[in-house]
Amino acid sequence: MKDSELSVIAKSKDEMKHPIDDNLYLKPLKSGKASWIFRYTFATKRKEITLGTYGKAPRGITLKKARELASDNKANIRNGIDPKTVRKQSEKMTVDAIAQEWLKERRSNIENPQIPERVYRRDIQPHIGHLLIDQVTSKDIYNVVQKIKDSGRPSVANDALDHCKHIFTQAIILNTLDNNPASILKPKHAGGTEKSRTRNLEFSEIEIVLSVMRSNKGQFTRDNYIAVCLLLTLGVRKGELIAAKWSELDLNEQIWKLPEARTKKKAPGLAIGLPDKIMPFLNELKVRACGSKYLFPSRRASKRREYISDDTINHALNTLFGIPSSVQKKKGIKLPNLMQEAGIEEHFTIHDLRRTCRSRLSQLKTVSNVAEKCLNHKIKGVEGVYDQWGYFDERTEALNTLANRLAHYW
């Protein structure tokens, strides 16, 4: 049957069950919508269940999907299982059960699955994870993202809303839900439309920032300080640095071979020439690692991973801006804005250090293509297609020039 024929039936509003396929019917409703019905016989009794609403995915169910669901139900009947029993069990599924299915799929399809896992675990699961999937309302999801926004994390609020939309879409795919309660919510209901950040630190600011960090070791540890110096110098992503293994580094040859498997957005692997000025930092980290295979091993026993948390350096930096951690907030601890007192008026994040590296390379007259390759960016346009040269020597020289300038402030 063609889609045009199905559309005519769906719009008829006669509320009759129209046979579409073996055991499969389409029932138009007065509301203007139509439902897929699966009719069957089980234990000599005639029964039926609603498969979902006719329409395009993800909100609706297409003919192809309806046939697949009907086939699944037929298989259950052959195995002596009543489809209604399966439906009742699925209706008892919690948000957490569906979320785990979605996260499992994410692990095989995205580069950094730990990011949505962390947002779900910290900001979504505690509030709605225990609820039955069909009990969650749009207001529940709105409350979740508003709570995140009120904590000063608008971008995370937007991410959480996006994750909720995917989780409830997963429930529709698993036939445990007909409508997505998160679908009507937009970024304006969460963190708002995000603008591209432009914040980067001038050399004069870097001198002040590093001085504040060194003077407040109780809030900003030596490991965190070294990490900041390396991020400023090498321009790598924070996640690439904190997950780095000693096996990737050749300290004698001064080369870090960053594997493609750990780069973002399927960027190629990159051989990074390590500047002379940062070698003392790396040698110090080697000692501080105490035999760990990671440059920044976790200082606490963790079943999740052996290197520091993604938020470790971020939280430490926030305390220097007078922003307490969640634990400190609960205890009512107020912190002074040490950065502001030292003259750093505008807040910056750890990711801004990558932009800082790129900006200072330009200030030091580094050729654009070389600077872009230092950050492992793809060169745009036709030139990027044909110019596959890695600029290793040029990049090494550029990073050494930057390190020599930054070393004045270490």
**One domain for residues 136 and 72:** no
Assess whether 260 and 291 both reside in one domain. Answer: yes
Residues 12 and 142 grouped into a single domain: no
Of the three residues 38, 67, 89, the one that is the final residue of a domain is: 89
* Of 121, 154, 189, the domain-final residue: 189
Domain, as residue range, for 348 = 203-315+342-409
Q: What is the pTM of this model?
A: 0.62
What CATH number has the domain bearing residue 387? 1.10.443.10
48 and 106 together in one domain: no
Query: Within a domain: residue 331?
Result: no
Q: How many other CB atoms sit within 10 Å of the CB of residue 260?
A: 10
Q: Is residue 165 part of a domain?
A: yes
Burial group, residue 84, by CB count within 10 angstroms (0-12, 13-18, 19+): middle
What's the pLDDT score for residue 111? 67
Does residue 283 belong to any structural domain of this protein? Answer: yes
Q: What does the alpha-carbon distance between residue 118 and residue 109 come to, in Å, rounded to a whole number? A: 16
- Report how far residue 204's alpha carbon sits from residue 31's, in angstroms, rounded to the nearest whole number: 66
Residues 82 and 103 in one domain: no
| CA angle, 276 then 280 then 281, to 5° | 105
Q: What is the 3-state secondary structure (H, E, C) of the chain?
A: CCHHHHHHHHCCCCCCCEEEECCEEEEECCCCCEEEEEEEEECCEEEEEEEEEECCCCCCECHHHHHHHHHHHHHHHHCCCCHHHHHHHHHCCEHHHHHHHHHHHHHCCCCCCHHHHHHHHHHHHHHHCCCEHHHCCHHHHHHHHHHHHHCCCHHHHHHHHHHHHHHHHHHHHCCCCCCCCCCCCCHHHCCCCCCCCCCCCCHHHHHHHHHHHHHCCCCCCHHHHHHHHHHHHHCCCHHHHHCCEHHHEECCCCEEEECHHHCHHHCCCEEEECCHHHHHHHHHHHHHCCCCCECCECCCCCCCCCECCCCHHHHHHHHHCCCCCHHHHHCCCCCCCHHHHHCCCCCCCCCHHHHHHHHHHHHCCCCHHHHHHHCCCCCCHHHHHHCCCCCHHHHHHHHHHHHHHHHHHC
Residue 325 covered by a domain: no
Tokens of 371: 């600077």
Residue 146 forms part of a structural domain: yes
Q: Is residue 81 part of a domain?
A: yes
Total structural domains in the chain?
3
Q: Are residues 263 and 353 in the same domain?
A: yes
144 falls within a domain = yes
| Count of positions (residues) in the chain | 410
Residue 160 within any structural domain of the chain: yes
- Are the beta carbons of 193 and 345 closer than 8 angstroms? no
Select from 189, 215, 231 the last residue of a domain. 189
Q: Which residues pair with 23 in a beta bridge?
A: none
Q: Are residues 74 and 168 in the same domain?
A: no
Q: CA neighbours within 13 Å on the CB side: how many for 77?
A: 20
In CATH, what number is assigned to the domain containing residue 129?
Answer: 1.10.150.130
Residue 74 sits in the same domain as residue 212? no
pLDDT by position in tens, the chain (length 410)? 777 888 888 888 888 999 999 999 999 998 888 999 999 999 999 999 998 889 887 667 889 989 998 999 999 999 999 998 877 766 568 899 899 989 998 887 776 788 899 999 999 999 999 888 888 999 999 999 999 998 878 889 999 999 999 999 999 888 778 889 999 999 999 988 767 778 999 999 999 999 999 999 999 999 999 999 999 999 999 999 999 999 999 999 999 999 888 887 666 788 999 999 999 999 999 999 999 999 999 977 666 689 998 889 999 999 999 998 878 888 888 999 999 999 999 999 999 999 999 999 999 999 999 999 999 887 665 444 444 457 899 999 999 999 999 999 99
Same domain for 122 and 224, yes or no, is: no
On whether both 207 and 291 belong to a single domain, the answer is yes
On whether both 7 and 153 belong to a single domain, the answer is no
Residue 17 sits in a domain whose CATH number is 3.30.160.390
Q: Based on the fold, state whether residues 308 and 348 are members of the same structural domain.
A: yes
Q: Which amino acid is it at 168?
A: F
